[in-house]
Structure 1
Amino acid sequence: MPPLLVSLGYAVLVVAGYLGFVRLVTALRSRPRAIVPGPPTPELRDEPPAVVNLLVNRLQPTHGASATLLDLAARRALELFATGDTVRVRVRGPRPDGLAPHEQRVLERVARVAGDQSVPLELLLERHAAGGRRWLGWLAREVRFEARRLGLVSRSERFMPIAAVVAGALLALAVVPLMPAGSWLPAWACLAAFAWLPLFLLETVVIDERDRITAQGRAVAAHWLGVAAWLRAHESLRDLPPEAVAVWDRYLAYGVALGVFRHAADVLDFETVGRDDELWSDVTGTARLVRVRYRRPSRLLEPLGRVDARARLIWSALSLPVWSLVAGLALRVDALAPRTVVLALAGFQVLRHLFRIARSAYELLRPVRLTGTVLDVTLNSRVPVDSMGVADLPASYAFVVDDGTADRLTPWLVHRALAGGRDRRGPSGADDDFQGRLAAARHLGYAPGDRVHLVGQRFSRYVRELRHAKSSPAGPGPTRRR
């Protein structure tokens, strides 16, 4: 076997082994562990509400921004008050001292929108929605830093430099087969000194955060879970509005952070406004947060977007003999380097299309049959229309359907004919004129809260059949989107 292929294969094994080892160790060290709640108590501690929200949700924050906004109002940095049916917010006087970075971020967001005046809460949320996702990401990062500063969360990386140095030394050995006899030692020594650096940088990009709750953090979280139990025992407090912070002070902020005062959190809506990847569902009978994973098309790998299983099966069946022919022709090339490159590319494509054929056949033979509640309907794709000045028409929709079995959902792609309550053969009873066909194409026969039954493809997420399902009289309540 050529020395170049030996070195490349050895280097790939070293990098893969290093990343696998790091991922395994970090997963074991940061695995979530159940926290035993403490006894019910009304005693509040000094941890910020956003940090409390981080701890009790096992480092997955849910209402940190809303709880911080209420906490700032309880500490008289902001003011929340109601005028009729409108909740207004404004900054009160000079900025207080000793604010944590995440608290300063929330206060600056309000000050940027409100200035010296009071503004409706809806305006604040509307302005927040434009960059809400990125802003919330920075806020969550600052909350983690605050939790680390308080000793409640740690990020132990003592094994990382040692693992990177060892893997770098092993990676440096990959150049040994390529060096002439007697001249490989200086090059190997130079590479061994620096080979760990790209491995360490690659690990920081590929591997997720490695925070874990410390023993002190677990004790603090247990105390706050006891506070949550005490708050839940007072049912009259559950429907408090945000402006009630003037009376209930920090209890309202911590109640939102602990997930007890859902009405105030729903009104503030700081976390999910402007976002389409987090929804609230009542399908199981109790409100729970559902995370939606939208598959963003890659313009490089999928220039035409996703296709259904039937089209993928046909395309792969046509492409497989072509790449097999390319592999056969490559075997006749005398030069080693071009033959190796073409064979590797053709072999990869053959395996890829074989996998797609098998997966597409499985999708077609074993479709998914699902009955659930529609949480959200968004436009997935459009088709241009250049006639009579008409804007683009919808081509397909993304339906988020929850059957209560998972907290992470992937949207289903529904053709506009199915989304309008018709089959693909065309609208029944539609007018023959242009405006009638246009209205039929834009008609949407489903809305969030509807119970539906669908038959779809498991991996491509294309829906082949869709219809309304009968709701059980004793079934769950309506679905809410925040």
Structure 2
Amino acid sequence: MDPRLLLDLAVGGSALAGWFAAYGVVRLATRPASPTPAPATMDLGDEPPALVSLLVNRWSLTEDAAESTLLDLAARGFVELRQPGDDPMQTTLHLPPSPPDAAGLRPYERLVLDRVRGLAVHGVLPLSALTFRNEAQAKSWNKRLRAQVVADARAAGLSRRRFGPKVTTVLSAAALLAGVVVGLAAAHYGSWHAEEDNPGLAAGFVTFAVLSVIAGATPGERDTPRGRQVAARWLGVRDWLRGHEQFDELPPASVAIWDRYLGYGAAVGATRLASAVLDLGMGDRSLVWSSYGGTWHRVRVRYPRLPRYGRTLPRLLLSAAISGAVGFFLLKLFGPSADLFPTSDDPATRIVALVAAGIVAGAVLLLAFGGYTLVRGVADLATERTITGEVLWVQVWKSTAQGENRPARPWLHYLAVDDGSGERTTAWGLPSQWAGDCHHGDTVTIRVRPWSRRVVQVAVVGHGRPRSLTEPVVPEATGPRVARAGAPTPESLFTTEEIGQALGLPVGAAEAVDLPGPLVGVQFRAAGDGSPVLMIQAVSGAAGQWIWRLNARGQELPGIGDGAYLAGERAVLRLGDRTVLLTLLGVARARTAHLPWLLAQGALRASANRDQATT
């Protein structure tokens, strides 16, 4: 090879290598921060859940943004979530007859609300119907949501472009310099061939254009000083929520009790069940819940696609042999006639020589690939290892077609397993005959070959709860839930006449409401149009303490029971270890003036009933 060509290639290659090295340094320097969590706290900030989701996920937006926004809209009264039975998958969305004013909603909150309103029929929508049926529509909707959340975060000073104007300008200037160097090297090469057009200008322009496009394509968002402070505080809220037993098992309908805490819990990744039930088309197999290690967390899964993944050793050796044989044959056949820089004046001869040179280059690559596959395949056999973890995902990977009227026969599945080694993992290739032995949530021990990512042995060591939540939940006991003996039930605290007097409108008899967990409740409807106007819920024990802490805010009402508060359309009453929560609905939302009197009547009646029980 001509030394002058080597010099030109070295100069141009060095310029490109220098630019990509600078690009790599910039990416490393602008990585989003990982703030240290602040002390655990239950105090919520002013940021909406979608922004919180962006911050706690290191300035990366996940499906939690839309799901937490929907839960927050329910907590604020724009929609209602109702679970008629014990299965959270049966949850339905209801549009209230008199919703709050939506003028103050942020664009992405309105986007979520508009989707619910657009799909609801007569004001009702099954929660499962929110899922997109068209992939293109889902991507478009999610793209709009992300753009609106990012714009809001930037406006609040919580986020910024990872590559700002200064960084982009520096990289573009470096791209111009690299383009000039590559152009000069190409021009120098062209000066030896006066009979041909000089490629210097074209090479320099193409180099500059390509590198400028790469520099201008921002790789996402990054932190700001204020964003780091806010993210640290919300990470403290996450730790506080995760420290409460069974918070991650709350269904979406429990937002009626937990208020905005459930939405923020979804934003910070603390509500496994609610997040699993909700699906606005953003979820994918690359971010999966895992309980391996004793706590719920999410694991990012990568799914390999290269041909070697999942292959058996004989198939790998056969591939290596074929590659080597084909490469050797082509090299022997075309090697003598190959010439990268032909000197013949005959155009046909020069073309043949260049084609032969290209074939020889391909043959060398085939030989190298065959040798590499042979060595790594044998080494893969010698480095087998055993891991134990939780099954995150099982899905068909490769199949064999069996004809027009017969379904394809799968022979390889993806198997994603969380072994507790980190927040990221790569799926394995599982022979399809074993795919039915393990399910989502199972704990398995597998023997694997690391390079080919093939599972050679699998054993289920523990059965887990499926992630799909499609199986109906079997109730622990038949019949409606009842309060423990001696505890005041919602219908025993207030009479229909007292409720009608407090609300200023006649109401019908109490109707039992099926609520999640240990809650018991009743609902009252207006006697005229039958619309719900008041819900009363009661709960004791640890859950009662939780609900009291969440709702003990607003206007304190001294002298009523063991404590009472009024906040907006809600009022809470503490009676011993039992908490009673009153929520005004529909047309009665603004009729809060006489709620303190109603609470006082309930407290007096509970005290009288308790005195009778002790005599």
Equivalent residue in structure 1 for 2:362, among 321, 341, 345: 345
**Residue 20 of structure 2 is aligned to residue 19 of structure 1:** yes
Indicate the larger mover: 330-339 or 141-150. Answer: 330-339
- Residue 426 of structure 2 is matched in structure 1 by 410
Partner amino acid, structure 1, of 2:304 = R
Counterpart CA distance in 2 for 1:255 and 1:261 is 6
**Residue 139 of structure 2 is aligned to residue 139 of structure 1:** no
Indicate the larger mover: 401-410 or 361-370. Answer: 401-410
Classify the secondary structure of the residue corresponding to 1:323: helix
Counterpart CA distance in 2 for 1:204 and 1:357 is 42
Counterpart CA distance in 1 for 2:177 and 2:121 is 55
Deviations 1:345-382 (A, max 9, x none): 22222222222111111112222322333333222333
Deviations 1:175-226 (A, max 9, x none): 2223338999x97578656742221124556xx7152201010111123234
Q: Is the 8 A contact 1:80 1:88 kept in 2?
A: yes
Q: In the TM superposition, what is the alpha-carbon distance from 1:294 to its structure 2 partner? A: 1.9
- Residue 56 of structure 1 is matched in structure 2 by 56
Partner amino acid, structure 2, of 1:345 = G
**Residue 116 of structure 2 is aligned to residue 110 of structure 1:** yes
**Residue 464 of structure 2 is aligned to residue 454 of structure 1:** no
Counterpart CA distance in 2 for 1:237 and 1:416 is 37
Equivalent residue in structure 2 for 1:151, among 136, 157, 160: 157
Classify the secondary structure of the residue corresponding to 2:54: helix
Q: In the TM superposition, what is the alpha-carbon distance from 1:320 to its structure 2 partner? A: 1.7
Change (3 A) 1:214 1:282: same
Counterpart CA distance in 1 for 2:201 and 2:430 is 59
Q: Give 1:67-216 correspondences, 5 Å limit.
A: 67-85=68-86, 86-91=90-95, 96-114=102-120, 116-125=122-131, 127=133, 132=138, 135-136=141-142, 138-155=144-161, 156-157=163-164, 158=166, 159-180=170-191, 195-203=207-215, 209-216=219-226
Q: Is the 8 A contact 1:333 1:339 kept in 2?
A: yes
Partner amino acid, structure 1, of 2:410 = P
**Residue 467 of structure 2 is aligned to residue 467 of structure 1:** no
Counterpart CA distance in 1 for 2:271 and 2:322 is 58
Counterpart CA distance in 2 for 1:364 and 1:234 is 46
Equivalent residue in structure 1 for 2:293, among 284, 288, 310: 284
Partner amino acid, structure 1, of 2:227 = G
- Residue 251 of structure 1 is matched in structure 2 by 261
Partner amino acid, structure 2, of 1:25 = V
If the length of structure 2 is used for normalisation, what is the TM-score? Answer: 0.63
**Residue 412 of structure 2 is aligned to residue 396 of structure 1:** yes
**Ranges in structure 1 where 5+ consecutive residues have no aligned partner:** 420-443
Partner amino acid, structure 1, of 2:183 = A
Q: In the TM superposition, what is the alpha-carbon distance from 1:48 to its structure 2 partner? A: 2.0
Q: In the TM superposition, what is the alpha-carbon distance from 1:122 to its structure 2 partner? A: 2.0
Partner amino acid, structure 2, of 1:163 = A
Partner amino acid, structure 2, of 1:22 = Y
Q: In the TM superposition, what is the alpha-carbon distance from 1:34 to its structure 2 partner? A: 3.2
Equivalent residue in structure 1 for 2:235, among 200, 225, 238: 225
Change (3 A) 1:308 1:5: farther
Counterpart CA distance in 1 for 2:201 and 2:408 is 62
Q: In the TM superposition, what is the alpha-carbon distance from 1:42 to its structure 2 partner? A: 1.7
Indicate the larger mover: 341-350 or 189-198. Answer: 189-198
Q: In the TM superposition, what is the alpha-carbon distance from 1:167 to its structure 2 partner? A: 1.9
Give the share of equivalent positions with the same residue, in percent: 31
Deviations 1:68-118 (A, max 9, x none): 112223344333334445322144569823544432332233233225521
Q: In the TM superposition, what is the alpha-carbon distance from 1:287 to its structure 2 partner? A: 0.8
Counterpart CA distance in 2 for 1:344 and 1:73 is 63
Classify the secondary structure of the residue corresponding to 1:35: coil
Counterpart CA distance in 1 for 2:452 and 2:101 is 52
- Residue 242 of structure 1 is matched in structure 2 by 252
Counterpart CA distance in 2 for 1:402 and 1:36 is 24
Counterpart CA distance in 2 for 1:180 and 1:51 is 58
Counterpart CA distance in 1 for 2:371 and 2:240 is 58
Counterpart CA distance in 2 for 1:380 and 1:193 is 42
Indicate the larger mover: 189-198 or 9-18. Answer: 189-198
Counterpart CA distance in 2 for 1:396 and 1:182 is 54
Counterpart CA distance in 1 for 2:203 and 2:407 is 59
Equivalent residue in structure 1 for 2:398, among 373, 376, 381: 381
Q: In the TM superposition, what is the alpha-carbon distance from 1:153 to its structure 2 partner? A: 1.2
Equivalent residue in structure 2 for 1:309, among 313, 317, 321: 313
Counterpart CA distance in 2 for 1:200 and 1:27 is 19
Deviations 1:371-421 (A, max 9, x none): 33333322233344569x7644433333223322233233332334444xx
Partner amino acid, structure 2, of 1:33 = S
Partner amino acid, structure 1, of 2:152 = E
Q: Is the 8 A contact 2:412 2:429 kept in 1?
A: yes
Q: Is the 8 A contact 2:316 2:373 kept in 1?
A: yes
Deviations 1:260-307 (A, max 9, x none): 34443333244765x32222111111111122222346xxxx5x9963
Classify the secondary structure of the residue corresponding to 2:38: coil
Indicate the larger mover: 250-259 or 188-197. Answer: 188-197
Q: Is the 8 A contact 2:316 2:377 kept in 1?
A: yes
Indicate the larger mover: 209-218 or 340-349. Answer: 340-349
Change (3 A) 1:145 1:371: same
Aligned residues: 443
Classify the secondary structure of the residue corresponding to 1:97: helix
Indicate the larger mover: 61-70 or 91-100. Answer: 91-100
Change (3 A) 1:447 1:325: same
Q: In the TM superposition, what is the alpha-carbon distance from 1:13 to its structure 2 partner? A: 4.0
Q: In the TM superposition, what is the alpha-carbon distance from 1:52 to its structure 2 partner? A: 0.9
Indicate the larger mover: 450-459 or 87-96. Answer: 87-96
Indicate the larger mover: 67-76 or 188-197. Answer: 188-197
- Residue 434 of structure 1 is matched in structure 2 by none
- Residue 430 of structure 1 is matched in structure 2 by none
Partner amino acid, structure 2, of 1:105 = L
**Residue 369 of structure 2 is aligned to residue 332 of structure 1:** no
- Residue 429 of structure 1 is matched in structure 2 by none
Counterpart CA distance in 1 for 2:362 and 2:467 is 49
Q: In the TM superposition, what is the alpha-carbon distance from 1:172 to its structure 2 partner? A: 1.8
Change (3 A) 1:100 1:340: farther
Q: Give 1:292-303 correspondences, 5 Å limit.
A: 292-296=301-305
**Residue 369 of structure 2 is aligned to residue 360 of structure 1:** no
Counterpart CA distance in 2 for 1:141 and 1:308 is 45
